[in-house]
Structure 1
Amino acid sequence: MDKQKILVINNYGQTCHLIHRSLRDLGMDAKLVPNTSSAEDILRLEPDGLVFSGGPTMERAGNGANLIKLDLPILGICLGHQLMALAYGGELRTGKYGGFARVDIEVVDEDDILKGIGPATKVWASHQDEVSKLPPDFKLLARSGICDIEAMCHVKKPLYGVQWHPEVSHTEKGIDLLKNFLEVCSRQ
Structure 2
Amino acid sequence: MKTMNILVINNYGQFCHLIHRTIRDLDMDTTIISNTSSVEDILSKGPDGLVLSGGPTLERAGNCAQYIREIDLPILGICLGHQVMAKTFRGEIGPGKYGGYAEVEVEVLEEDNILQGMAPTTSVWASHADEVKSLPEGFIQLARSGICEIEAMKHEQRPLYGVQWHPEVAHTEKGKDLFLNFFQVCEDY
Interval of TM-score (by shorter of Structure 1 and Structure 2): over 0.9
**What does 1:33-44 correspond to in 2, within 5 Å?**
33-44=33-44
**What does 1:83-122 correspond to in 2, within 5 Å?**
83-122=84-123
Q: Measure, in 2, the Cα distance between the counterparts of 1:112 and 1:9.
A: 21
Deviation >4 Å, runs of 4+: none
Which segment drifts farther, 52-61 or 62-71? Answer: 62-71
Question: Aligned-pair distance for 1:2?
Answer: 6.3
Q: Measure, in 1, the Cα distance between the counterparts of 2:172 and 2:32.
A: 22
Which segment drifts farther, 131-140 or 60-69? Answer: 60-69
Q: Secondary structure of the residue that 1:12 maps to in structure 2? A: coil
**What does 1:98-177 correspond to in 2, within 5 Å?**
98-177=99-178
Q: Give the match for residue 18 of structure 1.
A: 18
**What does 1:67-86 correspond to in 2, within 5 Å?**
67-69=67-69, 70-86=71-87
Q: Secondary structure of the residue that 1:68 maps to in structure 2? A: helix
Give TM-score scaled by structure 2 length.
0.97
Q: Give the match for residue 62 of structure 2.
A: 62
- The count of corresponding residues between Structure 1 and Structure 2 is 188
Unaligned runs of 5+ in 1: none
Q: Measure, in 2, the Cα distance between the counterparts of 1:136 and 1:87.
A: 10
Q: Measure, in 1, the Cα distance between the counterparts of 2:90 and 2:81.
A: 14
Q: RMSD across aligned C-alpha pairs, in angstroms?
A: 1.0
Question: Aligned-pair distance for 1:68?
Answer: 2.0
Question: Aligned-pair distance for 1:3?
Answer: 2.4
Deviation sequence 1:38-66 (CA, Å, 0-9, x none): 11111111100000000011111111111
Query: Kindly tell me: are residues 184 and 94 of structure 1, through their superposed partners in 2, closer, same or farther at Cα, counting changes over 3 Å?
Result: same
Unaligned runs of 5+ in 2: none
